[in-house]
Structure 1
């Protein structure tokens, strides 16, 4: 990879992550860590406000924004392909949000690229899986996970039992065509899983719950492998 392309890619990484490790960049671009140090110095000399913390990594100083990123045809094609796959899932909010992303990408493509993208949309399809009952809450749940916001849900279990729960959302996972929320349930005082298509109603509360020492890896090892 030419240095100019690498510097541009490093800028994209810095904008997309809170902290970027020099070792991770060296692995990604197959260069030495010393080369990454020189690249960071070059970016700083060019006026990019890059901060650094010993033992932590590099970051962009708050308030700095990069110009809009232009997409290559292959990158745009990848987004269209992903859109076809997303359409097979059962959450309407995810489909709508992703389609908004695709529309924004199309808006910055030139005429020829748009024509090629339209052709690809007509020539690619994902298998027509039988959909589960539709869900509309994934976007709200995702936001609640990052905001640490307590949710109140009305839920119908597999046994058809109807319950009201106050939960602290911690993660989501996808299986077949179904999204599942992992949350700490205050009613059961333990972790529970809730299929989003079985959530009858969901209310975002104003309550913020304290951060938990929670990882999906630890959760699956403890609750799903036994």
Structure 2
């Protein structure tokens, strides 16, 4: 797709699946074969929040994702540290330079070794503009082919502005689409019950509106709290809203 065609397509994308598929194919045209997008709304001074609450989109293999994310290696990744302190795009050249200069910490060296074993050594990272102190989004784009970092940097000099624009627009679109975190997706009934709570309805009101007993409504709300890993229904409404799981149009 041309830049205009791509921007038009994602503007009308209705699901993360179709947006992400198109984005992966578009970035592959520039030599970025493997992408890892991450976004959190639970950032603090010492943490990025529970990884199960992250919005994670990737076309890396399951083994890489388990090692990098589930084992927590991401937290000491040099480019993540850069992304938390900067906005815009950066070449992975800085990783090689840090390794060569001996300035990497032991934890960063462990991440470097893991990525090297997986062939994730050449690429770019984009850090998106944050909308609040608690949010942060970034995408790492790895080249798995036979090009060097010099060649990828030369390609970026020619097409970087377009690539950055496409990624920024994709990021903004992702923020508007429903995301079901693994093991935390709501059923239609759970979502409907939370929506009525968000509208200020009581349990008895919701039972009447949904044609259920009050006990069944309470069950749906309890299961929603468990699915979202929160303690109160108010917290469940907030988290579901943050994940765009409230008032979802069925497609």
Larger radius of gyration: 1
Q: TM-score, normalised by structure 2?
A: 0.20
Q: Which protein, 1 or 2, shows the higher relative CO under an 8 Å CA cutoff with sep ≥ 6?
A: 2
Query: When you count strand as a share of all residues, which structure comes out higher?
Result: 1
Query: When you count helix as a share of all residues, which structure comes out higher?
Result: 2
Q: TM-score, normalised by structure 1?
A: 0.22
